[in-house]
Amino acid sequence: MRLSCLALTVSMWTFGQSALAHEITAQIDLRAVVVDSPLDSFTEGGTGQLRFGGDDDGLRLGAVTIDAAGEIVDTVRYGVTARATGDGDRNPIDLTEAYLEWRPYPSSPLRWKTRVGAFYAPISLENRAVGWDSLYSISASAINTWMGEELRTIGLETSLTALGATAGRNFDVSIVASAYGWNDPAGILLFQRGWGIHDRQTALFGELPRPLVQDPSIPNIEFFDEVDGRYGYYAGVETKISSRHVLRALHYDNRGDTAEVEAREPTWLTRFDSFGARIELPLEITAIAQYMQGDTAVGASADGRGFIIVDLESWFVLLSRQHGRHRYTARYDRMNTETVRGARFFDSHQDADAWTAAYLFSFNDHWQLAAEAIRLSGSLRQRAEIGLSPNATERLLQLAARYSF
Amino acid sequence: MRLPPHHIGILLLGLALRTPAASAAELTVRVSDVQGRPAHNVVVVATPKAAVSAPARSAPLAEMDQVDRQFSPYVLAIRTGTPVLFANNDSVAHQVYSFSPPKRFELALYHGKPREPVVFDRPGIVTIGCNIHDNMVGYLYVTDAPWFGATGDDGVWRVHDLPPGEYELQVWTPLLPPHEWLQTQNISISDESTRASFKLKRALRPEPAPIKDKRVRDY
């Protein structure tokens, strides 16, 4: 009893400080969707690469997002994001990120930050808004869509930044490194369905149906699992110029043991290099380009590199202009996967591109209206495995009304 | 216009009353970049080479605001000993700090007005940051000199009460590479109004951009 009184006092005190120390944002995103596609969406177990497939016309839930961030003690902050996507995932609402961040006050031009928990690796230059949404469109590029689907750092990340301001430089240079676990299945969705373009993030305890398996007794894909007992790592470098322009490079390796197949998901060995630049041009025009190249592999092999190896490559260029409360965005995505070993057992092969045009209008700090058109066209050779034509063009028009408070 | 003689007398009396006993001159300093465009928000300092009777000035409270996740103004020149209030007019909390040798301080997370101002009691350059928002950068130029200020949008700084004498003029901006931060010239102030100009060797870098869109969360 005494303990609960103490707990109540502490929590009241904490809440009393809350106006100061905690920032909570909730956002609801409702969509009107028109689709022209011969495919079912991957969210329904199809091989469609957009979030909505052929039968999904109508009103849909974009997402409900609840985001909280704040101070625990002076230099330790937390960030928690929960999301509901309303498409029958295991939990109606689930966490997408949850972490603690330690930011000691810099005592020299070297600035140190450490995060522990579950969060996104610093790769995307688009997903800058609340709930890791894109600031520039509804759907992220293929690269950052894949980040939201299959990649999550569940572990520790630390970064060291050389702050330029005191030395009169107009740029900061950071190095970042991370060790993590629970990302052994990363690569399975890319292997089966290829790159996609949408805004659905896989929750930490979320699942997706298998695109090429039509037996309902086989369980869904679980993404964030530790199978082989090996930690993965990434290491990267970033430069920020005049608090405006950002350049990034990062190497990722989940160090998966491809021989480890006795689990719900076998271990995938996924490695890639990622490069990106975001440049702020005159007239409030933003240019973003990202490139990713690597491979993912599965199954035991004598050399340990995997029984099946699939090369992955994607890039995009985005131009966006802010004009008062209006934002106009155009993006071109290029997407490729190619099986370079074991293709006679399973030939994962995608050759596709996509155009995205978006218009966002912010009425005020609470209401935003977004319209987006996507045309994704190309081939996915593995569709033949389930009797579909490899070639398809998917078109999606979606209108989102977003309210946040 | 022709004025009757008694009006001229009143006018002259008025001017005499306005002018302090020791004669004082007006100095206009114009700062431009390499292309001749006015250089805004450049600190200008006038330091007398010999002892002059500088007017006794207190060091009133100065304020550096935080708006749209950026410090405003970007550069603030203050006299040594001035207390500065780091107001926060953002909807998000800030954690202001500096590790610059003239003044190391940390202000724990706050909204609105902080409890107390920070007193800058040693001259020098103090770089200000926010521990939450790494994009935020501001500078305080703390000086012992009696006459100082910053150029306006027209690139001009003007002072009215300089006693005649020899002065060193300095201009300072962090929007140049560090070896060009400071430029100096000597100037002789007579009873009349004096003009000086500085031409910077290159275009100023852009100031760090504020983040106006409240949806942006990556800092």
How does pLDDT run across A264-297, given as a tens digit for each residue?
A: 888 999 999 999 999 999 999 999 999 999 999 9
Q: Are A167 and B178 in contact (CB under 8 A)?
A: yes
Residue B194 has pLDDT above 50, yes or no: yes
The per-residue pLDDT for range B35-75, each reduced to its tens digit, is: 999 999 999 999 998 877 777 667 789 999 999 999 999 99
Residue in B72, B78, B218, B119 with CA at minimum distance from that of residue A119: B218
Interface touch B178/A105, C-beta < 8 Å:
no
Tell me: pLDDT of A373 over 90. Answer: yes
A170 and B106 within 8 Å at the Cβ level: the answer is: no
**Chain B residues touching A368 at Cβ < 8 A:** 215
* pLDDT over 90 (residue A368): yes
CA distance to partner chain B, nearest, from residue A108 (Å): 6
- Res. A120: pLDDT tops 60: yes
Q: Is the pLDDT of residue A5 over 60?
A: no
pLDDT at A152: 97
pLDDT for the residue numbered A344: 92
Report CA A341 to chain centroid distance, whole Å.
Answer: 27
Q: What is the pLDDT of residue B22?
A: 55
Mean pLDDT of A198-211: 95
Cβ(A302)–Cβ(A285) below 8 Å: no
Does the pLDDT at position A400 exceed 90?
Answer: yes
Beta-carbon separation of A243 and B93 below 8 A:
no
pLDDT tier at A6, thresholds 50, 70, 90: very low
pLDDT of B1 > 60? The answer is: no
Report percent pLDDT > 90 for chain A: 83
User: What stretch of H or E contains B184?
Assistant: strand B182-189
**Pairwise CB contact (< 8 Å): B215 & A129:** yes
Does B218 sit within 8 Å of A105, measured CB to CB?
Answer: no
Instruction: Report whether B11 contacts B3 (CB < 8 A).
Output: yes
pLDDT for res B183: 87
Q: Cα distance from A127 to chain B (closest Cα, Å)?
A: 8
Compute the distance between CA of residue B115 and CA of residue A19 in angstroms, rounded to an integer: 16
- Inform me whether the C-beta atom of residue B106 falls under 8 Å from chain A C-beta atoms: yes
Percent of chain A with pLDDT over 70: 95
**Which residue bears the tokens 């520790």?**
A156
Is the predicted pLDDT of residue B203 greater than 60, yes or no?
yes
d(CA B188, CA B197): 13
Write out chain B residues lying below 8 Å of A361, CB-based.
Answer: none
Residues of B within 8 A of A242 (CB-CB) are 205-209
Tell me the torsion sign for CA atoms B33, B39, B42, B47: positive
Q: How close B155 comes to chain A (CA, Å)?
A: 21
pLDDT tier for residue A20 given thresholds of 50, 70 and 90: low
Q: Which residues pair with A210 in a beta bridge?
A: none
Q: Cα torsion for A385, A387, A393, A397, to the nearest 10°?
A: -100
In sequence order, the β-bridge partners of residue A252 are A234, A272
What is the complex's ipTM, to 2 decimals? 0.85
* pLDDT level of residue A208 (50, 70, 90 thresholds): very high
Q: Which of A135, A243, A322 sits opposite B135 (nearest CB)?
A: A243
> From the list A107, A130, A172, which residue is nearest B99 (CB)?
A107
Q: Determine the Cα–Cα distance for residues A155 and B51; give it in Å rounded to an integer.
A: 64
Pairing state between β B194-199 and B25-32: parallel
Contact status, residue A398 vs residue A57, Cβ threshold 8 Å: no
From the list B109, B209, B217, which residue is nearest A243 (CB)?
B209
C-alpha span between B101 and B142 (Å, rounded):
12
Instruction: Answer yes or no: do A242 and B208 touch at CB < 8 A.
Output: yes
Per-residue model confidence (pLDDT) at position B60 = 86
* A95 close contact with B: CB closer than 8 A: no
- In terms of Cα–Cα distance, which of B169, B203, B204, B194 is closest to B183? B169
Which 198-217 residues of chain A touch chain B by CB within 8 A?
Answer: none
What domains can you pick out in chain A, each with its CATH number?
A: 26-404 (2.40.160.10)
Indicate if the alpha-carbon torsion angle A28, A30, A36, A41 is positive or negative: positive
Determine which of B99, B111, B125, B132 to mutate to test the interface with A (most A C-beta atoms within 10 Å): B99
Is the pLDDT score of B15 beyond 80? no
Whole-angstrom distance, CA of residue B11 vs CA of residue B3: 10
The predicted-structure confidence for A308-340, as pLDDT tens digits, reads as follows 999 999 999 999 999 999 999 999 999 999 999
Q: Kindly state whether A364 is in contact with chain B, defined as any CB-CB distance less than 8 angstroms.
A: no
Residue ranges of domains in chain B, CATH in brackets: 23-199 (2.60.40.420)
Return the CA Rg of chain A. Answer: 22
**Region A88-117: what's the mean pLDDT?**
95
**A17: Cβ–Cβ under 8 A, 6 or more apart, which residues?**
none
Do the chains contact at B109 and A19, CB–CB below 8 Å?
Answer: no
CA–CA separation, A191 vs A349, rounded Å?
8
Among partner residues B95, B129, B215, which is closest to A130 by beta-carbon distance? Answer: B215
How confident is the prediction for chain A on average, in pLDDT? Answer: 92
- Whether the CB-CB separation of A80 and A95 falls below 8 Å is answered with yes
Confidence of residue B8 (pLDDT cuts 50, 70, 90): very low
- Residue A224 to residue A205: CA distance in whole angstroms: 7
How many CB contacts within 8 angstroms connect chain A with chain B?
A: 88
| Cα B12–Cα B14–Cα B19 angle in degrees, nearest 5 | 95
Q: Which residues does residue B195 pair with via DSSP β-bridges, in sequence order? A: B28
β-bridge mates for residue B92, sequence order: none
pTM of the model: 0.90
Residue A339 structure tokens: 């099986």
What pLDDT shows up at residue A11? 46
Contact between residue A276 and residue A246 where contact means Cβ atoms under 8 Å apart: yes
pLDDT in tens, B131-170: 999 999 999 999 999 899 999 999 999 998 888 899 999 9
Contact residues on chain B for A400, CB-CB shorter than 8 A:
none
Question: Between residues B213 and B16, which one has the greater pLDDT?
Answer: B213
- A202 DSSP assignment: P
The answer on pLDDT for B182 being more than 80 is: yes
